[in-house]
């Protein structure tokens, strides 16, 4: 794939990016305080998918420490371009074909989208003796089995499998995308129940990855610890194909 240069770097887009980031962080803090939570408990991941690698450099220079990507070829290419960029944690948030597991493990520091035994096995087999990989178990909150994620009724069993068979994966919590058809608050309640189920297996798997540009306040109210925010910070994504 080709990565086009980020035309905003060093131009009038730079201040715009910083302003959007500061505005969003203020809204996150407000939402946390309204929910009686401490904003410092929250990790804000900036989703940079479809944008050029130079955007990540600009974000890093603004102090961003967590970025999110959703396609294997793209995260691999961007990490290759940014080998000298220190201090950024790369989160993989997209669906993963099992045959891409090795490449995802090589490129990601955290994987949010573990949703089946075979994928967990492949991520583990990619580096069984390596540094532990932090993972979330992705839960499907829709009725469409084609969407990413394990059914809520199956997440405890998946946690048991990963805990028993994938020693190089460290289950940190659960992840979901709210369905478009549902009120986000109701969906995030179901994710909270899935989190309880996973913690019956792995008591310290307390992370909850939920909340995007349009629903982060509801996610924070429902206990999210990791927010995945794209367009509210980056503006519209470039066209992709």
Ligand X SMILES: *Cc1c(COP(=O)(O)O)cnc(C)c1O
Residues that bind ligand X (CB under 6 A): 47, 49, 70, 93-94, 177, 212-214, 228-232
Smallest gap from Cβ 227 to ligand X, in A, equals 9
Separation CA 117–CA 86 (nearest Å) = 32
Separation CA 205–CA 196 (nearest Å) = 9
Q: Are 51 and 237 in contact (CB under 8 A)?
A: yes
- Give the residue among 130, 74, 64 at the shortest CA–CA distance from 104: 74
Nearer to ligand X, 173 or 230 (CB): 230
Nearer to ligand X, 195 or 201 (CB): 195
Nearer to ligand X, 31 or 201 (CB): 31
Smallest gap from Cβ 176 to ligand X, in A, equals 9
Q: Are 5 and 27 in contact (CB under 8 A)?
A: no
Nearer to ligand X, 54 or 216 (CB): 216
Smallest gap from Cβ 237 to ligand X, in A, equals 7
| DSSP 3-state of 125 | helix
Smallest gap from Cβ 164 to ligand X, in A, equals 27
């Amino acid at each position: 794939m080709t990565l086009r240069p980020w035309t905003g770097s060093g131009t009038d887009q730079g201040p715009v990016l910083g302003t959007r980031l500061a505005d969003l962080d203020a809204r996150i803090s407000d939402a946390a305080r309204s929910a009686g939570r401490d904003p410092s408990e929250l990790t804000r991941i900036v989703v940079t998918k479809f944008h050029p690698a130079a955007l990540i450099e600009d974000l890093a220079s603004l102090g961003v420490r967590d970025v999110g990507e959703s396609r294997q070829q793209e995260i691999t290419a961007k990490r290759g371009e940014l080998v000298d960029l220190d201090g950024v944690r790369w989160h993989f948030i997209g669906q993963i074909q099992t045959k891409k597991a090795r490449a995802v493990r090589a490129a990601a520091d955290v994987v949010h989208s573990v949703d089946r035994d075979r994928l967990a096995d492949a991520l583990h087999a990619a580096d069984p003796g390596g540094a532990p990989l932090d993972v979330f178990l992705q839960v499907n909150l829709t009725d469409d089995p084609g969407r990413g994620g394990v059914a809520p009724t199956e997440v405890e069993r998946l946690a048991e499998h990963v805990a028993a068979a994938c020693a190089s994966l460290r289950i940190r919590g659960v992840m979901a995308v709210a369905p478009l058809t549902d009120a986000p608050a109701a969906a995030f309640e179901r994710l909270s129940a899935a989190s309880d189920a996973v913690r019956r297996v792995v008591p310290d798997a307390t992370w909850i990855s939920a909340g995007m540009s349009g629903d982060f306040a509801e996610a924070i109210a429902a206990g999210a610890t990791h927010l995945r925010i794209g367009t509210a910070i980056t503006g519209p994504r470039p066209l992709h194909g």
